[in-house]
Homo-oligomer: A and B are copies of this chain.
Amino acid sequence: MSVLIVGTTALDSIKTPNAENPRLLGGSASHAAVAASFFSPVKLVGGVGEDFPKKYVELYRRHKIDLEGLQTLPGKTFHWSGEYELNMNNRRTLATELGVIETYSPTLPKTYQTAPFVLLGNIAPALQHRVLDQMQRAKFVVADSMDLWLNIALPDLLKLLKRVDGFVLNDSEAHQLTKEDNVFTALKKIHALGPKYVIIKKGSHGSILSGPKGFFICPAYPLHKVVDPTGAGDSFVGGMMGYLATAKGSIDSNIRRAMVYGSVTASFCCEGFGLNTTTKTKRSDIEKRVKELEKLTKF
């Protein structure tokens, strides 16, 4: 089955203590779509400007991503630039140029409206609502978000949480949303806001699912070197949704394994700037790391 993915399609300029990387392909939808494409057909929803490089359209195509829902709009592509500290944990936004994203409002092609799996990647909650309004037979809808929307669009986000099956956020966002330090208490409070499945991402410490079958403690793949964590969270949820869309059986019987696949896909994302390493990854590389993670967690 296919996954519809909406989110930002952006150009990222990423500075680290050791390198500068201008205008890489980035954005939540790009990372999530490429990650999901390892497992299932992907329908991308996004808006780019007239300056969007052709090579990035080619990259999407190489991953067999359906681009009928990718609109080219008059103006410039959303551009984010940021800087990472030496330890790769703290990042600082240097500039955000919204470009075409500022007035973008997604209109879905007919063939998109019946996609059974829907990932509302990180973008303004109003746009996530707008996509959901156009879906007709969604079987499983997951939303991602970020601290920005908790700050400036909380009412929209809270309304969205009542419309989705799953919600994914990181530990600091969970703290911001619930005022809870304890991750398990935070999970409980987020369920009360609507979603049946809540996943809290903890970066290199893995992630935790709370769902109808209880908790799942999902490991992160051990990386000796993180080159650029930008997009890791999007790759995680993209990989997870891609896996879920092809797995046979119920969501409950597949979601743990889906998270592990997402976690492994995110590990490749961290090993290169932007999508550089992810796009070179093969499905067999992913399978190898999943098997390793099985061994690393067995007792």
- A-to-B contact residues, CB < 8 Å: 86-89, 181-185, 188, 202, 204-206, 208, 214-219, 222-226, 256-257, 259-260, 294-299
Contact = CB atoms under 8 A, between A and B. Distances in A.
A226 B297 contact: no
Q: Which 7 A-B pairs have the closest CB atoms?
A: A205-B205, A256-B299, A87-B181, A217-B219, A184-B224, A184-B222, A257-B299
A225 B89 CA distance: 27
A276 to B, nearest CB: 20
A208 B87 CA distance: 19
Given A217-B296, A260-B299, 5 more contacts: A89-B181, A184-B224, A205-B205, A215-B296, A217-B297
- Interface SS of chain A: mixed
A226 B299 CA distance: 25
Contacts of A218: 299
A297 B297 contact: yes
A183 B221 CA distance: 12
A217 B222 contact: yes
Most central of A89, A205, A257 by chain B CB within 10 Å: A205
Specify how many copies of this chain sit in the oligomer: 2
A222 B183 CA distance: 9
* From A89, A183, A215, A297, residue with most partner B Cβ within 10 Å: A297
A182 B299 contact: no
Contact of A256 (B202, B206, B298): B298
Contacts of A87: 181
A204 B182 CA distance: 9
Contacts of A214: 295-296
A88 B217 contact: no
Contacts of A202: 205
Contacts of A183: 204
A188 to B, nearest CB: 8
A60 to B, nearest CB: 30
A185 B299 contact: no
Given A204-B183, A217-B219, A259 B299 contact: yes
A229 to B, nearest CB: 12
